Amino acid sequence: MSDTRTVPAVHGRREVTPDPAYEIELAAALRERQTPAALQELYERFSHGAGDFDAMMRRVIFRALVRHLGDGLRIGRGVSLMHPDTFTVGRGVFIGDQAVLQGRFDGVCVIGDYVWIGPQAYFDARDLVIEDYVGWAPGAKVLGSEHTGVPADVPLVQTHLDIRPVRVGAWSDVGVNAVLLPGVTVGKGAIVGAGAVVREDVAPFAVVAGVPARFLHWRDGHEGGQDA
């Protein structure tokens, strides 16, 4: 007898109400009156608090720091931000505890509506787009750059960086501790298994797993990767 229970989804179906006007006004005032460095310092004061006020202030300061923020962000404790001014974040997004969002001063990161980012996730978000309704499991990582290794007669960390865009299509799911390598595109509705290392593109509605990740099968009703 199976012990499996099927229960309704919560995050992807929750209704997002508009953020209060006072939060938006406070974020605008902070952006106008404080430098980005001062805002980051202020964010750290509230980054580990467990109370509702701490959570609200994280959301307010996050809005002041990023290019754009939609309504209904829930941002956990200990989330690390680097170059948040390069981020555009949609509605109804969840960011779990101790996630690391590392942008680049000349980069771009777009996080779509209703994206769920698990605790201890890591984004090397130098050229990253995550479309709507993506699930990003705890500990999953994306790398957007790597050292060229040329020339070989100097330390690797002294060689130039190649930055390659990473794209994660809508409705897809990236499993616990999976890793997406630079230049990868994960197609719409695809599933990346736990612990997988993805070094090649994943077709829409494909299920992949392993190190390196390999195709296992199509999701039900999508044989050949066709859209619904």
What pLDDT tens digit does each residue of the chain (228 aa) get?
578 999 999 999 999 999 999 999 999 999 999 999 999 999 999 999 999 999 999 999 999 999 999 999 999 999 999 999 999 999 999 999 999 999 999 999 999 999 999 999 999 999 999 999 999 999 999 999 999 999 999 999 999 999 999 999 999 999 999 999 999 999 999 999 999 999 999 999 999 999 999 999 999 988 776 665
145 and 76 share a domain?
yes
179 and 89 share a domain?
yes
44 and 84 share a domain?
no
Residue 149 lies in a domain: yes
206 and 100 share a domain?
yes
60 and 73 share a domain?
no
Residue 3 lies in a domain: no
Partnered with residue 195 across adjacent β-strands are none
Amino acid at 29: A
42 and 119 share a domain?
no
From residue 9, alpha-carbon distances to 13, 14, 21, 87, 227 in Å are 6, 9, 29, 27, 22
Residue 6 lies in a domain: no
Give the domain-ending residue among 50, 65, 80: 65
71 and 59 share a domain?
no
Integer Cα distance of 130 and 112 in angstroms: 6
Provide the whole-model pTM: 0.94
29 and 108 share a domain?
no
* Inter-residue contact 86 to 107 (CB < 8 Å): yes
61 and 146 share a domain?
no
The total domain count for the chain is 2
pLDDT of residue 139: 98
Positive or negative CA dihedral for 24, 27, 31, 33? positive
132 and 155 share a domain?
yes
82 and 132 share a domain?
yes
47 and 97 share a domain?
no
Residue 7 lies in a domain: no
pLDDT of residue 227: 63
Residue 123 lies in a domain: yes
Give SS3 for 35: coil
* Inter-residue contact 166 to 185 (CB < 8 Å): yes
pLDDT of residue 225: 64
Integer Cα distance of 117 and 134 in angstroms: 8
Q: Which domain holds residue 45?
A: 18-65
pLDDT of residue 133: 98
pLDDT of residue 52: 96
Give the domain-ending residue among 65, 99, 125: 65
